[in-house]
Every structure is written in C-alpha cells, then in structure tokens.
Amino acid sequence: MGAGLSALLELSGVSRRFGGLRALSDIDLAVERGEVVGLIGPNGAGKTTLVNVVSGVHRASAGRVRFDGEDVTRLRPFQAARRGIARTFQIVQPFPAMTVLENVTAAALFAGGEGSIAEARSQAREHLEFVGLAAVADQPAAQLTLAMRKRLELAKSLAMRPKLLLLDEVNAGLNSVEMDAALGLIRGIAARGVTIVIIEHLMKVVLSLCSRIVVLHHGELIAAGAPAGIVQDERVVQAYLGRRYAAAQAAGG
C-alpha cells in the first residue's frame, strides 16, 4: 500500500524482532490525513507492537517510519509526542495521587508545549469539558471509575495537541452505554481533524467508526481496505472473523 500525497503516516518495510520472535514483518502502510483506521487481528498479531513502533516505545528492527514528512523511525516517545503522535494504553494508568485536572495539565505542559502552568491548566479544563469530566476536575484520579479513567486518558491525549491519535483497546471493559459515549467522543475528536488509528476487538465498533480497516496476522499485514470488503476477505475470515460472522454480515446481520 503506497502512500498518497497527503499521507500523514507512512511505514515502509517495517519489521520488529524480539530475540528470535518476529513481531512485525515487512509492514507497508500509509495513513492519510483525517482517516479513522481500524487495526484488527487475533491476539499476538502485532497490533500493539505496531503502535509502539510508531510512537517510539519500540524501535523498528528494519524499515522506516515517516510522520508528517519527517523520518521518525528512531525517535523516543517524548519526541514523537511533541511532533504530534499521541497514544492511549490498554491498561489505563493515570497519576493516582494527582487530581484529574493536574493529570491533564501535566500532559499539556510536557507534550503539548503550553508555555505556562496557567495556560496549560486553562487548556486542560477545556479538554475535561469536552470529555465530560469537568465536574470531577478537582477529584483525585484514583477515585475515577474505569469509564472515567478512559475519558481522562482521552483528555490527556488531546492535551498533547495530536495530529495522530493511536487508541489501544479504548473500549475494553466498558458497558454498552459507556461504549456509546466513548464512540461519540472518538467521533468528536475525528471531527476536529485528528487522524485516528484504533486497535479494537469489537467489530461493531470498527464498522461504525472506521473508513478503512487494516488486518494483521502473525506480524504480517494480510489485508487493508474498506470495511465491507474486509469482512468478506477470505484471508481475514480464516485468520480472525470466522465463517459464521462473515455469513451474518453477508445476510445483513
């Protein structure tokens, strides 16, 4: 998959090894500005490793990562964040002794480039308003429910002024009402012009959010394209979805 002229993120021949294990193998992928891309595949397929390589947590063992026209292959996480790459983690870990507001203020200061604490705090309040946490701004983060901690994670990510937001299992552990609220927030973030790549196991979430789906299996990119085609792709059916799911989709289920 070659990059278009407007590609924000481009991976060229990216591989990542951990000892003898090849977690990613020769990945070519372009993400255009403004896209919402779903990243799916079985457990161990390499999804989180790919996000870690893009965000600087792991360095690619081979290949190149370009972001916004710049080679970012060897950047550390804080450097990637300051260039506009933000990510959430599957296990949400705010600073528990700090207030909700302080958590977001810290993100604004250290990654978002806000010039003063007062400016960072002001920006943080705006982000908390957006995610629906303004009422608990002065509570310790440790007191938040899981759903609230997920919202806090989104607010912290927004405080980093991202061009690209990488979401790792942001809906894990949420009930259906909480999930609907989270999807509304993600759509709102996309509407602001933020490009999004989301790792997600729930296909109904992927299909409702994403304009394109990328599928990994055993560290290889086996399919990428529009949702309607992906759910009928024979390689994806065999590796991940199963025939019962594909049949239900074909029948309109």
* Mean pLDDT, residues 68-72 taken together: 96
Q: Is 19 helix (H, G, I), strand (E, B) or coil?
A: coil
CATH superfamily of 1-84+170-253: P-loop containing nucleotide triphosphate hydrolases (3.40.50.300)
Which residue shows structure tokens 């009930």? 175
Q: How far apart are CA 20 and CA 1, in angstroms?
A: 27
Alpha helices in 16-76 (DSSP H): 47-55
Each residue's pLDDT tens digit, 107-165? 988 876 667 899 999 999 999 999 999 999 999 999 999 999 999 999 999 999 999 99
Q: Rounded distance, CA 21 to CA 34, Å?
A: 34
Burial tier of 53 (Cβ tally within 10 Å: 0-12, 13-18, 19+): buried
Residue ranges of domains in the chain: 1-84+170-253, 96-161
Higher pLDDT, 105 or 92: 105
Confidence of residue 245 (pLDDT cuts 50, 70, 90): confident
pTM of the model: 0.91
Sign of the C-alpha dihedral computed for residues 20, 21, 25 and 30 taken in this order: negative
pLDDT category at 176 given cuts 50, 70, 90 is very high
pLDDT reported for residue 112: 61
Closest CA to 85 of 49, 44, 53, 117: 53
CA distance 42 to 76: 28
Among candidate residues 252, 219, 251, 213, the one with its CA nearest the CA of residue 233: 213
Q: pLDDT higher for 245 or 76? A: 76
Mean pLDDT over each residue of the chain, to the nearest integer: 91
204-241 pLDDT, tens digit per residue, is 899 999 999 999 999 999 999 999 899 989 999 998 88
